[in-house]
Chain A
């Protein structure tokens, strides 16, 4: 059973460009979480999605950031008009559907560098 997959692993964008980060959850998982890790800091929650629904976006910046998890295909975190402060590692995690499941399985992360 393949783990959580994220691509690309490294992404370089110039200021003002768009960044698209993809996350394919583990097979059978319908819950996806995105976290951001700034240099030398812990992970900060951004958004929690289920298929075709945003459940909790309390950690998402109000502007330029959006996320989706369509019925088919990976979850996408989109950052428009990137700025240097967006440089960070972005992690995706997935968990099974059942509420009793406690664990979130993390992908390897996408390191975004804005030049």
Chain B
């Protein structure tokens, strides 16, 4: 079974600075998806960024980018120019491509605080 580990329960960063959230995962599959979700106090799950494992190029969405290291099974999220609205819980998630097994496997989460 796949597992996802986020080793940083809490992180904080000064507004406008850059922060990196760590995520490692374990799988025997060669193709899969990886995601970062944001959960603000409203509890709504918001997709931040996704990465297909077959793509070598790291995904980027505006101020959010990932460092995907397939061999190391590492998938970190970098947030540049941090804003107060980025404060939230961040969850890393894995999704298999096997039919019938498309559930998301989540890490434990990292609580990100933005200091003004």
Across-interface contacts of B56 in A (CB, < 8 A): none
Q: Considering the complex, which residues of chain A in the window 70-115 have a beta carbon less than 8 Å from any beta carbon of chain B?
A: 89, 91, 93, 95, 99, 102-104, 106, 108-109, 111
Q: How large is the interface on B (under 10, 10 to 19, 20 to 34, 35 or more residues)?
A: 20 to 34
Interface centre among B42, B44, B108 (most CB of A within 10 A): B44
A12 within 8 A of B: no
Known: A42-B91, A43-B91, A106-B45. A95 touches B102 (CB 8 A): yes
A42 touches B44 (CB 8 A): no
Question: Which residues of chain A from 6 to 60 have a CB within 8 Å of any chain B CB?
Answer: 31, 33, 35, 41-45, 48, 55-56, 59
In the complex, the answer to whether A102 meets B106 with C-beta atoms within 8 Å is no
Q: Do A43 and B99 have beta carbons less than 8 Å apart?
A: no
Q: Which residue of B lies closest to A105 (CB)?
A: B47
Number of cross-chain contacts by CB at 8 Å: 50
Min CB–CB distance B107 → chain A (angstroms): 6
Given the known inter-chain contacts A56-B100, A56-B101, please indicate yes or no for A108 contacting B44, CB distance below 8 A.
Answer: yes
Q: State the CA gap A31–B102 with chains docked (Å).
A: 10
In the assembled complex, which residues on chain B have CB atoms less than 8 Å from the CB atom of A99?
99
Q: Assess A44 versus B102: contact at CB under 8 Å? Given A91-B45, A106-B44, A109-B43.
A: no
> Is B64 in the interface zone, CB < 8 Å from A?
no
Instruction: Determine how close the nearest CB of chain A comes to the CB of B43; give it in whole angstroms.
Output: 5
Q: Using Cβ atoms and an 8 Å threshold, which residues of chain B touch A108?
A: 42-44
